[in-house]
Amino acid sequence: MTTSALAGLRERIDGLPPLREVAAASLPARKSLGQHFLFDLNLTDKIARTARPAGATTEAPLEGTTVVEVGPGPGGLTRSLLKAGANVIAIEKDQRASEVLAPLIEAADGRLTLITADALSADWTAIAPPGTTICANLPYNVATPLIVDWLTGPWPPWWASATVMVQREVADRIVAAPASADYGRLSVLTGARAFATSVFDVSPAAFVPPPKVWSSVVRIDPKPDTGVPLKALERVTAAAFGQRRKMLRSSLKALTREPETLLAAAGIEPTERAERISVEDFIRLAHAWEATNEDTPAAR
């Protein structure tokens, strides 16, 4: 997009009715959908900038980038993504949004596509081209399953990066390091497949209606394919963290009759606890279990 075309797009978007008026008239937030809207465009601009690819300009940080946004609501973040130069594919379950977003779709002049669908059942590879960026204020009630879905799909993934707003407690679990209270199965899965950083926190007062908890913006960038055995990793972490305070030689009895043999194969002390071993340790443990377990593809 040329500089003049982007300036024209920004002018059209800035001329739209204020977000608060739009939401108040046609799209009051629904608790059942986990909706908490952002009307502060300075904040949504900051989120959009956080999603920029490496080397992007500050004038148009998302120029030439296709962005998937889940749950656009009245379109606050959507406006910021468009003004940053992105082509946006918005997935919205709430059918009221199609009418609310119609003026923004017109102003975007072909750079905004709205798909009315449930993101939890979306066929992402059919919706988004390879290399797509994810940027969204995720509805609280679908944030974790969506992130897990994105992390457990075919690898390399269809997405180049994911910048998402989630509950702070979820963000803490995503980025947690071993020996911290938040370290668990989601931490291990994320660490096995991606680099994750909690970028900044957002007060409940920034949302309408305000939630009861703080939120955080997290940036997730996929790692190269290292052959992580996901199904085995899921079984191993479920057993290990199912009794996280116990030593692994006890907690892994839910997985195998000979936990100490399994741990020895992975080079892990049997007296260690799940909350203290690294992502790399868990990956070795998953490989070891996959190699010896009759129910896994590697053993068949």
Enumerate helices (H) and strands (E) in the chain, giving the number of each: 13, 9
| Residue 71 annotated as part of some ligand binding site | yes
List residues bridging with 91 in a β-sheet: 70, 115
Q: At 26, list the tokens.
A: 């046609």
Q: How are the residues of the chain apportioned to helix, strand and coil, as percentages rounded to the nearest 5?
A: 45, 20, 35
Q: Is the peptide bond before 178 cis (omega within 30 degrees of 0)?
A: no
Angle CA(224)–CA(229)–CA(231) in degrees, nearest 5? 130
Contact yes or no for 208/29 (Cβ under 8 A): yes
> CA nearest 81: which of 55, 110, 47?
47
| Residue 137 annotated as part of some ligand binding site | yes
| Residue 15 annotated as part of some ligand binding site | no
User: What span, in angstroms and rounded, lies between the C-alpha atoms of 209 and 35?
Assistant: 8
| Residue 36 annotated as part of some ligand binding site | yes
Q: What is the dihedral of CA 70, 72, 76, 77, to 10 degrees?
A: 10
List residues bridging with 90 in a β-sheet: 69, 114
User: What span, in angstroms and rounded, lies between the C-alpha atoms of 238 and 257?
Assistant: 16
Q: How many residues in the chain?
A: 300
> CA nearest 164: which of 138, 185, 141?
138
Contact yes or no for 215/168 (Cβ under 8 A): yes
| Residue 242 annotated as part of some ligand binding site | no
- Whole-angstrom Cα Rg for the chain: 21
| Residue 38 annotated as part of some ligand binding site | yes
Residue ranges of the binding site: 36, 38, 71, 92, 118, 137
Residue ranges of the binding site for S-adenosyl-L-methionine: 36, 38, 71, 92, 118, 137
